[in-house]
Amino acid sequence: MKNRKLLMIPGPSPVVRSIQDQMGRETVAFGDPEFVKDFKGLLDDLKVMFKTNGEVFVVAGTGTMAMEMAIANTTKRGDNILLVSHGFFGDRFIDICERKGLNVDVMSSEWGKIVPPSEIEKKLNEKDYAAVTVTHVDTATGVCAPVDEIGQVLKKFPNTLLIVDGVCATAGEPEYVDEMGIDVLFTGSQKAFGVSPGLAILWAGPKAMERRRTLGTIPEYYVDFDKWLPIMDNPSKYFATPAINLIWALKESVRIIKEEGLEARFARHRKVAQAMQKALESLGFTLLAEKGHRAVTLSNLIYPEGIDDLSFRNLLSEEGIMVAGGLAAYAGKMFRLGHMGNIDMHDLVSVIATIERALYRSEQNVELGKGVGIFMHEMLS
Ligand code: PMP
């Protein structure tokens, strides 16, 4: 008999039945009064939950499009921009910003570590920057940036906007837009919201909206805030066809989050991550991210001696879980395990047991049940 395969890559994350059901509904016209009401309600909820007096945009596209949307609406050719990079996705901003004609400065950490906020402050004192970008959780390294502290630093530089890539963090790691000094926050539907890929969600605080006004007409069309603002205000209007079923799916995700409570959701992510990470370390894996800066949404696990990456991931797949490989210098040395969104507790126990079975079949000296025991003890404490 074939086992169900658990989706444990760091996004897309598992999509629960009630969200799948929304995607399976019969599609209606975007002007359908019921849909318009649903969309408007969703936008209002997103603004309140993530606490901004600015705007929220829900647009068909992926996280990368949201990166481009953030840059397009806050900078103009010739501006200076500071990119704080903790890995592959932090670096993705380099190309986006260079194509836009920005003067790019990059502050990078060694993979697994962070750029200290004090260093960012020093850099900001040296030059005027239109914006700073930070990836809250870099999916390539599993490092969580101290966004709150960086937000505090940015408060001393009122002309510089803080752009936060929350693709692998939002709805899992605490993020409150205005309170934390974030000017633009964005994510994709497929991560901690637990919806299928295809929607970008972007919050723009009052300072970011003011910056947009100063830019006048911008070269970009589809991602222009000004094109979408009338629709976000009144979704019965048309600019480009909304992803109706995904919007319903996101609405169901937000309903689930409200039912759980956003704070409770953050706490659950923290607890699960700590328990998972302790269990996996006990099985011989090493976390790439240093203590104190580990993400709660995924774990980036360096293999113990003697494990071949491809064979191990094939074994995991045979045993029933899909994980992701390492990127760049860590390709072949590490695997990445997502544990974000609407993840099921039975599945998590099963995931650790599956990893134990794959280690056993890789002829590692593993005590079956050890990781499972540690995980359960941690979750029950
Ligand atoms: N930023 C981060 C932190 C990501 O993890 C990803 C996707 N893994 C992206 C941006 C790009 O998102 P997408 O693949 O949805 O375009």
Output the tens digit of pLDDT for each of the chain's 381 residues. Answer: 677 899 999 999 999 999 999 999 999 999 999 999 999 999 999 999 999 999 999 999 999 999 999 999 999 999 999 999 999 999 999 999 999 999 999 999 999 999 999 999 999 999 999 999 999 999 999 999 999 999 999 999 999 999 999 999 999 999 999 999 999 999 999 999 999 999 999 999 999 999 999 999 999 999 999 999 999 999 999 999 999 999 999 999 999 999 999 999 999 999 999 999 999 999 999 999 999 999 999 999 999 999 999 999 999 999 999 999 999 999 999 999 999 999 999 999 999 999 999 999 999 999 999 999 999 999 999
**Is ligand 1 within 6 A of the CB of residue 153?**
no
**Is ligand 1 within 6 A of the CB of residue 139?**
yes
Whole-number Å distance, alpha carbon 255 to ligand 1 midpoint, is 24
Domains within the chain, CATH numbers bracketed: 6-13+261-380 (3.90.1150.10), 17-259 (3.40.640.10)
Residue nearest to atom 2 of ligand 1 (CA): 167
Q: How far apart, in whole angstroms, are the C-alpha atoms of residue 260 and residue 237? A: 32
Residue 73 in tokens: 């609406």
Residue 65 CA: nearest ligand 1 atom is 16
**Is ligand 1 within 6 A of the CB of residue 199?**
no
What percent helix, strand, coil does the chain show, rounded to 5?
A: 45, 15, 40
Q: What angle do CA 207, 149, 157 make, to 5 degrees?
A: 40
pLDDT computed for residue 1 by the predictor = 67
Dihedral of alpha carbons 234, 236, 242, 245, sign: positive
Whole-number Å distance, alpha carbon 91 to ligand 1 midpoint, is 12
328 close to 88: Cβ distance less than 8 angstroms: yes
**Is ligand 1 within 6 A of the CB of residue 194?**
no
pLDDT computed for residue 200 by the predictor = 98
pLDDT computed for residue 342 by the predictor = 97
Residue 188 in tokens: 């994709």
Residue 62 CA: nearest ligand 1 atom is 15
Q: Among residues 378, 171, 345, 350, which one has the least CA distance to residue 277? A: 378
Residue 67 CA: nearest ligand 1 atom is 10
Pocket test for ligand 1, best of 64, 143, 164, 199 (most atoms within 8 A of CB): 64
Whole-number Å distance, alpha carbon 225 to ligand 1 midpoint, is 20
**Is ligand 1 within 6 A of the CB of residue 135?**
yes
- Look at strands 286-287 and 199-204 and give their pairing: unpaired
**Is ligand 1 within 6 A of the CB of residue 63?**
yes
pTM for the model: 0.98
Q: How far apart, in whole angstroms, are the C-alpha atoms of residue 381 and residue 302? A: 27
Whole-number Å distance, alpha carbon 331 to ligand 1 midpoint, is 18
One-letter amino acid for residue 343 of the chain: I
Residue 190 CA: nearest ligand 1 atom is 15
Q: How far apart, in whole angstroms, are the C-alpha atoms of residue 371 and residue 311? A: 21
